[in-house]
Amino acid sequence: MEKKLFPTQASDYDLLEEIGRGAFAVVYRAICKPLNQTVAVKCLDLDSCNSNLTNVYAEAQLMSLVDHPNIIKSYCSFIVDHFLWVVMPYMDGGSCLHIMKIRYPEGLPEPMIAVILKETLKGLDYLHRQQQIHRDVKAGNILIDTSGAVKLGDFGTSACMFNRGDRERCRKTVTGSPCWMAPEMLEERYGYDTSADIWSFGITALELAHGHAPFSKFPPQKVLLMTLTSAAPCLNPDKDKNFSKGFKDVVNLCLNKEPSKRPTTEKLLKLSYFKQTKFNSTLVQKLLNGLGPLWEREKILRDKDAALLASKKSAFLQEEEKSRNEYKRGVSCWNFDIESLKDEAATIHDDDTSVVSEIDPVSVNAPNQDEVVLREGGEVRQRLILNKIYFRKPFEREPQQFGRFGVFDGDLELESPGWHVVRPVKNSEDARLPTIDEDKGRTGSTEKGLDNFDSPTSSLIMDGPAGDHLKRYEDDKEYKRTILSLEQKYKDNPLSSRYDSAVQSRDAELREMDPGLLPSKSGVSCAPASNLAPQLKTLLLQTAKQYEVLADLLRIASPGEAMSMPLCTMHSEGPSGQCSEVSNLALEPDLNTRHQIHELQIKIASLTHELTFVKQRNMQLERQLNALYNKQEEERIKQEAEKY
Ligand SMILES: Nc1ncnc2c1ncn2[C@@H]1O[C@H](COP(=O)(O)OP(=O)(O)OP(=O)(O)O)[C@@H](O)[C@H]1O
């Protein structure tokens, strides 16, 4: 069949309706005008996604090399502003998750599950043979169309393991959706391989059977904990009586906590359960019978979610109150002690709803939340579905940790200071932390200096201009102390790998509160240019302060003489205490001084400009390198394919 060449210019595509939304991307039905073909275009926001451009681009390129009927390939991908557009075949049935939400909330009938699983398995088998890990196998990524085709999509998060030796074959990065993640993916010290996909495949089987993944209603920290410490999920012998033994065996085989004991895709395909399952397009088409167009269904679901969100808002306020009361009782809400987390997790019931809150733009790390609404000037700018777990690299803006993460354009943080959401750390057992003072009926402390401490800390500590009930971050002594106490407490903890993350996160946060508190790390060179602005402003302030000192010295040297040096004052705005403005209070600076200040400002502007330019150039070079690398890979794959 002749290979069509898809154009790589945005103007060649008409974006029509929105047909889906992921953590960092919106997917549209679109028309490729020169080819007059309906396609799906995934617009991935490069600014808010947590991966570096090179990886994203490499993975998008990789997607275009895929050639299997059960895997969605990309026709092409290109950059439009700060978005990566990935052009793919349009799957007009949508995802299995989508269909379950609309029509099968309790799960699909087994014959349909068997067909869907087998087709997915064939696609996964192809990827594994190419030595790739998908890393995001779930019903939301299994797409179907009206011809009855079943395809596994979105392996933008997958990692290429081509021929890079065994060390590289075990990935150390963590990306994925908590409920589907294999236990070894959560333990940073262990790598993981293709068997992690087999675990996710087993979870997907349960998801298709029940309409939702096991633990999906729990907050992510509980999901993590249960995945690590509880027995592997399985079918319920009472509730799931109707499922065949073959299906139960598949689930049990895949959900083995020991990765090496899980079957390979090849072995699974040889099971009689899958051998007997024949592809049946009519069965798949039946799933879509009577359903409206995908974009209309998508809209119905979006509206439903919005209504749910509104109802959850009040739940959040209650949760706030509950959490505050718990705090007053000295209940630990967040720590890394696995046993207490276990107990805590056990108190969360199946019907617990996740917390939803509204906060202003910037970066968000909200371990207890499903979704946050980002507003600017009262307008909703973006809704972030916090459904992923990321371990951020040390040089990146956010601390390393696990939790639900959403990141909004960091530059906005400077322009419109808003909520700053940080991780809560509380522990009543630590003597240095505030405890209940029964007599006084308020929070007290056993340590001197904290007697007046009165923190109505909720399950999240927030910092922002509004909300009197929330404590300002930089004043939060308890937070600083608690974080420091973590260091002592978890040194010998079995989760000591988490300890490093906690320390790094502590350092990052303390540095943000007060740049002088900790020595700055060397080699931190990857900050965005916009992040430099406060530092440059600080430099400007320092220079101005030097004038001040000079003026004082001159005053001492020649008392009685009128001084014409500027008297500068620091306006502390952010938690870091960086100055935002240098202003004259009493004395007007002379012309020369003003001129120098002006020159400094010009230098700063030009430096910022230069930095932006270098950054762009860097990105360009990265892209070129990538293209080169991908070309080589393509050739290598071709050669390998020829060998077969
Ligand atoms: N080629 C496609 N055809 C039709 N619908 C699609 C296509 N690709 C994606 N979708 C829809 O868009 C939704 C969002 O896709 P996307 O890959 O961005 O996110 P996701 O995998 O659901 O979430 P995440 O960002 O967590 O990976 C999917 O769940 C699916 O319903």
Report which protein residue has its CA nearest ligand 1's atom 24: 22
Residue 42 beta carbon below 6 angstroms from any ligand 1 atom? yes
Q: Which of 87-110 are b and which e, b meaning 16 or more Cβ less than 10 Å from the residue's Cβ?
A: bbbbbbbbbbbbbbbbeeeebbeb
pLDDT at residue number 61:
73
pLDDT at residue number 146:
93
Residue ranges of alpha helices (H) inside 490-570 are 496-513, 529-557
CA of 25 relative to ligand 1 center, distance in Å: 8
154 is catalytic: no
Report which protein residue has its CA nearest ligand 1's atom 17: 154
Are the C-beta atoms of residues 85 and 99 closer than 8 Å to each other? no
CA of 73 relative to ligand 1 center, distance in Å: 13
For 619, half-sphere exposure in the C-beta direction (CA atoms, 13 angstrom radius) is 16
pLDDT at residue number 562:
39
Q: Which residues of the chain have pLDDT under 50?
A: 157-175, 323-369, 386-503, 506-507, 509-510, 513-530, 559-588
The C-alpha angle with vertex 637 and arms to 635 and 643, in degrees rounded to 5, equals 105
Q: CB-based contacts of 37: which residues, under 8 Å, 6+ apart?
A: 4, 31
In angstroms, the CA 467 to CA 471 distance is 9
Residue 25 beta carbon below 6 angstroms from any ligand 1 atom? yes
CA of 141 relative to ligand 1 center, distance in Å: 6
Q: Which of 254-263 are b and which e, b meaning 16 or more Cβ less than 10 Å from the residue's Cβ?
A: bbbeebeebb
pTM of the model: 0.54
Residue 19 beta carbon below 6 angstroms from any ligand 1 atom? yes
Report which protein residue has its CA nearest ligand 1's atom 18: 22
* Tokens 């407490």 found at: 489
In angstroms, the CA 393 to CA 151 distance is 32
Q: Which of 543-560 are b and which e, b meaning 16 or more Cβ less than 10 Å from the residue's Cβ?
A: ebeebeeebeeeeeeeee
CA of 21 relative to ligand 1 center, distance in Å: 6
Report which protein residue has its CA nearest ligand 1's atom 25: 22
pLDDT at residue number 364:
46
Three-state SS annotation for 249-309: HHHHHHCCCCHHHCCCHHHHHHCHHHHHCCCCHHHHHHHHCCCCCHHHHHHHHHHHHHHHH
Residue to mutate, 6, 19, 84, 300, ligand 1, most ligand atoms under 8 Å from C-beta: 19
Residue to mutate, 63, 99, 141, ligand 1, most ligand atoms under 8 Å from C-beta: 141
In angstroms, the CA 424 to CA 421 distance is 9
Tell me the chain's radius of gyration from C-alpha atoms: 28
Report which protein residue has its CA nearest ligand 1's atom 5: 94
**Start-to-end CA span in the chain (Å):** 21
pLDDT at residue number 547:
60
250 closest CA partner among 231, 263, 237, 232: 263
Residue 20 beta carbon below 6 angstroms from any ligand 1 atom? yes
Residue type, 95: S
In angstroms, the CA 455 to CA 533 distance is 32
13 closest CA partner among 29, 31, 25: 31
CA of 20 relative to ligand 1 center, distance in Å: 5
As given in the structure block, the two tokens for residue 124 are 């996964």
Quick one: DSSP state of residue 625? H
As given in the structure block, the two tokens for residue 498 are 């988490």
pLDDT at residue number 222:
74
Residue 136 beta carbon below 6 angstroms from any ligand 1 atom? yes
Residue 153 beta carbon below 6 angstroms from any ligand 1 atom? yes
Q: Which atom of ligand 1 is nearest to the CA of 24?
A: 25
* Cα 223 to the center of its chain, rounded Å: 16
Residue 643 annotated in ligand binding:
no
For 307, half-sphere exposure in the C-beta direction (CA atoms, 13 angstrom radius) is 5
Q: Which residue among the candidates 45, 92, 125, 136 is catalytic per the annotation?
A: 136
CA of 578 relative to ligand 1 center, distance in Å: 41
Secondary structure element (H or E) that encloses residue 341, with its range: helix 338-346
Q: CB-based contacts of 480: which residues, under 8 Å, 6+ apart?
A: 510, 513
Collapsing DSSP states into helix, strand and coil, what is residue 400?
coil
Give the count of beta carbons closer than 10 Å to the beta carbon of residue 178.
25
Report which protein residue has its CA nearest ligand 1's atom 28: 20
In angstroms, the CA 198 to CA 176 distance is 14
Residue 112 beta carbon below 6 angstroms from any ligand 1 atom? no
Residue 91 beta carbon below 6 angstroms from any ligand 1 atom? yes
Instruction: Establish whether this prediction's ipTM goes over 0.85.
Output: yes
